[in-house]
Chains A and B, each alone.
Chain A
C-alpha cells in the first residue's frame, strides 16, 4: 500500500453539451429573469429535455448523481476509482468517447473533476500532445527551453539535458534553424525528445506514438520502457493494442465513463476487443464499407471466424481462422474469382489469397446468394491491426472491390512456445525456425565426408 503513487477515488466528471450559443451575457441575463419568475429555461432544447427526463427517471433508481444532470449535460466519467503503484506502466484503453482523455486531463490538472478526488505522490508531467507551446519562429534550441519549461522543467534542468535531447531528436545541425522550416518528422522528434527527458516521478502519455515513422515509434517505446525501469510510473493511453501489450504491465478498460475492467494487460485487451467487436463484430454492416461507385454490390458481407465458427475481431498469432465471404449478386456473374488481401496498419499488403491462385477453384457462375469460406490453417502475422480487402472479378475484370471490408486484430501470444511474447517490431510476420550450433571443425569434417 505504501507504494501507491496515484489514488483515484470515485471520480466523476460532468460535461455540458452544446455550449455554443449560450455564452452570451444577454442569454444568461434572460435565463436568470426566467428563473426568478419561476418559468422554465428559455434556451433548453425541447427534444433533449424530454430525453433527459426519461434517462433521469431510469437513473434515479440507481444513482443520485446520474439524475442530477441538467439539459445538455452528460457524465464523461462516472465513479472511476483505481490505484497505480510505483514503477508500473498502466495502459488505459477504451473506445472513442469512453472517457480516457477526460481522465488524463483531470490527472494532468488541465480541468477539474466534478466529484471525487485524486491523490498523487511525486511530480506529474503530462504529454497529451507533442510540441505543446512550440513557437514556429523560434529555433530548435529556443523551443527546447520553452517547451521544457512549459512541461515543468527549470532552466537548469533543461540545460543539463540539452545534449541528450538533441542527440535523441537527431536534429543536431538544425538546432539553430526556426522550427517552421523543420520537416514534420523532425518537429515531432524534437518535441518528443524534450518530453522524454523530463524527469517526473509520474508520466502521463496520450497517443503520442501515433505520429512519426516506425523507427521513431520504436525509439519512443524503448524510451518509455527505460523510463519505467528507472522506477518511474507511466500512464499510457493508446489505441495501438500492440504497443499497449508490449509496454504495459497492467491495463484498465474504460467504457462509457466507467471502469469496465482492470488487471493483466492481456486479459483487459481481450475484453476490450470483445467489447469493441460486440458492435461491429468484424461484420460488414450494409453500406458501411467503402465501395467505389463504379462497382456493383455483389459482396453482401464478410467476416472472420475463429475455430469455433463464431465471428471474431481478434485472433492470436498463428491461429486457424476462416474468412467468410457471402455473395448476393443481383445478376448472373460468370466465372467469378474472389480474392482476399490482408493489409497491415501501414497499408502494406501482407498476404493475399484468391480462389484460382490457391487451388484452381473454378466457379462457373454465381446467380443466387452463396457463401465462400477460405480456411487458413495458421495466420502467422505479427501482432497489430489489419484490414481486409475483398475483390470479385468477372472474366478478369474487377466487378466489386471493397477496400476495407472489415478489420481485425492479431494479439500477441507465446507463438514459439518459449515463454516470450513476440512484438510487432520484429517484422510483419512470424516464422517458426530451428537453430543449431556446431563448431567450425565439425562443419569442415562433415563437408569432407
Chain B
C-alpha cells in the first residue's frame, strides 16, 4: 500500500539490493555484533546463554517465589499432589484393576513411578508454552530465549527434590516395616537418570514450543499427549508384565528404561540394562539437539508470526 501512494520515491531506490560493493568496506572483526537475516542452522550461540546465567537463575527463583505468594500451603502443594496421585493409583490400578507390582508394596511402586514421571511431564508441559506465554516479553527485549525453558527445568528440580524427599521418607518407613524393597548401588546413577529426564522433557518441550508458534493445534495435543504417554511407559505397571518378545514395543520409548532403572535403583525390582539406557540416552541427545536447533531457528523470527 505504501508503494501505491508514493511511486516517485520508489524510483530513487537502487535497482538491486543489496549492492555487493557496499559490504566489503569493513573487516568484520571490528564489530561486536552483526545482525543478519539468517544465521546458520547450527549457530546456536550457547556462549550467550552462559553470559545470561544470572537471568536463568532469577527466572527459577521468580517461578518459585511468585507461585506461592498468597497461597496458604505454599510449597506443601508439591507434597499433596504426588501423594494423592499415588493413593488414587494404588486404589484404581492396585486394588481394583489388580495390576502386578513385582512384589513391591503398591504404594511405593506407584510413588516411585509418579515422582519420576511428574518431573518429566512438568518439564515438557511447561517448556512447551515458552513462546506463547512469553510473547510479550520476547517482543520487547533480547536475551537468549533458551534461558526460559532452561529455568523451567531447573525450577522443576526444586519440586522434584521435595517430592523425592517424600518418596524417600515412605521408602524408609516401608523398609523399617520389613517390606521387600532393596535399594542398591544403582542409586548412584539417579543424578544421571534425572539429567536424562530433564533433557527429554526439555527437548520435546522446546520442539513443541517452536512448532506452536505456527501451529497452535499442538498446544491442545501436548497436555493430553503427555497423559497418554504415561500409559505407554511403565509407570503404573512393571515392564515385566510383557513377554520378552514384546518388550521392544515399550523399550523404543526412551522414557521406559529410565523409569525402570529408577525403580530398580530404589526398590530393587525393575529392568536395569546399560544397553537400553545407552540407546535411550542416544535418542534423547538427538531429540535435545534437534530441539535446540529448531528453537534457535524459530526465536529469530517468531515475533512476526505470533
Which of B36, B38, B55, B66 interacts with A150 by CB under 8 Å? Answer: B55
On A, residues with C-beta under 8 Å from B are: 7, 9-10, 12, 15-16, 19, 23-25, 28, 55, 58-59, 62-66, 74-75, 78-79, 81, 105-124, 126, 128-129, 132-133, 135, 137-138, 142, 145-146, 149-152, 154-155, 178, 255-258, 260
Q: Is the CB of B3 within 8 A of A112?
A: no
A-B contact pairs, 19 of them (CB 8 A): A7-B31, A9-B18, A10-B19, A16-B304, A25-B215, A25-B217, A59-B10, A62-B11, A65-B17, A66-B13, A108-B142, A111-B301, A113-B37, A116-B17, A117-B34, A121-B31, A137-B69, A137-B70, A155-B58
- Cβ of B97 within 8 Å of any chain A Cβ, yes or no, is no
Given known contacts A23-B214, A64-B16, A112-B301, is B143 in contact with A120 (CB within 8 Å)?
no
Q: Is the CB of A120 within 8 A of B15?
A: no
- Bound Cα distance A441, B67 (Å): 73
Q: Is the CB of A132 within 8 A of B19?
A: no
- Bound Cα distance A421, B200 (Å): 63
Q: Is the CB of B32 within 8 A of A112?
A: no
- Cβ of B72 within 8 Å of any chain A Cβ, yes or no, is no
Chain B contacts for A137, CB-based, 8 A? 65-66, 69-70
CB distance from A53 to the nearest CB of B (A): 13
- Bound Cα distance A106, B141 (Å): 11
Secondary structure of the A contact surface, majority rule: mixed
Chain A contacts for B55, CB-based, 8 A? 149-150
Q: Is the CB of B58 within 8 A of A109?
A: no
CB distance from A422 to the nearest CB of B (A): 35
Q: Which residues in chain B, 279-306, are within 8 Å of chain A measured between CB atoms?
A: 300-301, 303-305
Kindly list the 9 A-B residue pairs having the minimum CB-CB distance in the complex, ordered from nearest: A256-B2, A109-B142, A118-B35, A10-B18, A149-B55, A112-B300, A120-B33, A119-B31, A137-B69
- Bound Cα distance A81, B253 (Å): 52
Which of B2, B31, B69, B140 interacts with A132 by CB under 8 Å? Answer: B140
Q: Is the CB of A256 within 8 A of B70?
A: no
Chain A contacts for B176, CB-based, 8 A? none
Q: Which residues in chain B, 1-29, are within 8 Å of chain A measured between CB atoms?
A: 1-7, 9-11, 13-19, 22-23, 26, 28
CB distance from A340 to the nearest CB of B (A): 33
Among residues of A, the one whose C-beta sits closest to the C-beta of B137 is A133
Q: Is the CB of B33 within 8 A of A110?
A: no
Given known contacts A63-B10, A64-B16, is B69 in contact with A107 (CB within 8 Å)?
no
Q: Is the CB of B54 within 8 A of A118?
A: no
Which of A126, A155, A255 interacts with B142 by CB under 8 Å? Answer: A126
- Cβ of B225 within 8 Å of any chain A Cβ, yes or no, is no
Q: Is the CB of A64 within 8 A of B216?
A: no
Given known contacts A9-B22, A149-B55, is B3 in contact with A59 (CB within 8 Å)?
yes
Beyond the given pairs A137-B66, A256-B3, 17 more chain A to chain B contacts, judged by CB atoms under 8 angstroms and listed by A's residue number, are A15-B304, A23-B305, A24-B215, A79-B13, A110-B138, A112-B301, A115-B18, A116-B37, A119-B26, A119-B31, A129-B140, A132-B137, A138-B66, A150-B143, A152-B143, A256-B5, A257-B2
Chain B contacts for A78, CB-based, 8 A? 13
Q: Is the CB of B139 within 8 A of A9?
A: no
Chain B contacts for A116, CB-based, 8 A? 17-18, 37
- Bound Cα distance A160, B55 (Å): 17
How many residues from B make CB contacts under 8 Å with A? 57
Chain A contacts for B66, CB-based, 8 A? 135, 137-138
Given known contacts A10-B22, A59-B3, A256-B2, is B54 in contact with A120 (CB within 8 Å)?
no
Given known contacts A137-B66, A138-B66, A146-B62, is B19 in contact with A118 (CB within 8 Å)?
no
- Bound Cα distance A16, B16 (Å): 22
- Cβ of B30 within 8 Å of any chain A Cβ, yes or no, is yes
Given known contacts A65-B17, A79-B17, A138-B62, is B141 in contact with A121 (CB within 8 Å)?
no
Chain A contacts for B33, CB-based, 8 A? 119-120, 124
CB distance from B240 to the nearest CB of A (A): 39
Chain A contacts for B140, CB-based, 8 A? 110, 126, 128-129, 132
Which of B15, B215, B304 interacts with A62 by CB under 8 Å? Answer: B15
- Bound Cα distance A171, B164 (Å): 42
Chain A contacts for B137, CB-based, 8 A? 132-133, 150
- Bound Cα distance A133, B13 (Å): 40
Q: Is the CB of A58 within 8 A of B32?
A: no
- Bound Cα distance A152, B54 (Å): 9
Among residues of B, the one whose C-beta sits closest to the C-beta of A102 is B304
Q: Is the CB of A75 within 8 A of B2?
A: yes
Q: Which residues in chain B, 198-229, are within 8 Å of chain A measured between CB atoms?
A: 214-217
Which of A10, A62, A123, A145 interacts with B58 by CB under 8 Å? Answer: A145
Chain A contacts for B58, CB-based, 8 A? 145-146, 149, 155
Among residues of B, the one whose C-beta sits closest to the C-beta of A106 is B35
CB distance from A32 to the nearest CB of B (A): 13
CB distance from B216 to the nearest CB of A (A): 6
Q: Is the CB of A155 within 8 A of B54?
A: yes
Q: Is the CB of A117 within 8 A of B35?
A: yes
Among residues of A, the one whose C-beta sits closest to the C-beta of B216 is A23
- Bound Cα distance A6, B30 (Å): 12
Q: Is the CB of B23 within 8 A of A117?
A: yes
Q: Is the CB of A112 within 8 A of B17?
A: no
Given known contacts A23-B215, A151-B141, is B300 in contact with A111 (CB within 8 Å)?
yes
Which of B16, B32, B303 interacts with A122 by CB under 8 Å? Answer: B32
Given known contacts A111-B304, A117-B34, A138-B65, is B6 in contact with A256 (CB within 8 Å)?
yes
CB distance from A107 to the nearest CB of B (A): 7
Among residues of B, the one whose C-beta sits closest to the C-beta of A113 is B37
- Bound Cα distance A122, B30 (Å): 10
Among residues of B, the one whose C-beta sits closest to the C-beta of A2 is B30
Q: Is the CB of B305 within 8 A of A55?
A: no
Q: Is the CB of A10 within 8 A of B17?
A: yes
Q: Which residues in chain B, 26-83, are within 8 Å of chain A measured between CB atoms?
A: 26, 28, 30-38, 52, 54-55, 58-59, 62, 65-66, 69-70
- Bound Cα distance A24, B28 (Å): 41
- Bound Cα distance A183, B28 (Å): 47
- Bound Cα distance A152, B141 (Å): 9
Chain B contacts for A117, CB-based, 8 A? 18, 23, 34-37
- Bound Cα distance A142, B36 (Å): 35
Q: Which residues in chain B, 169-215, are within 8 Å of chain A measured between CB atoms?
A: 214-215
- Bound Cα distance A400, B70 (Å): 55
Chain B contacts for A65, CB-based, 8 A? 17
Chain B contacts for A64, CB-based, 8 A? 15-17
Most buried by A among B4, B7, B216, B304: B304
Chain B contacts for A59, CB-based, 8 A? 3, 10
Q: Is the CB of A66 within 8 A of B35?
A: no
CB distance from B220 to the nearest CB of A (A): 11
Chain B contacts for A151, CB-based, 8 A? 141
Q: Is the CB of B23 within 8 A of A9?
A: yes
Q: Is the CB of A150 within 8 A of B13?
A: no
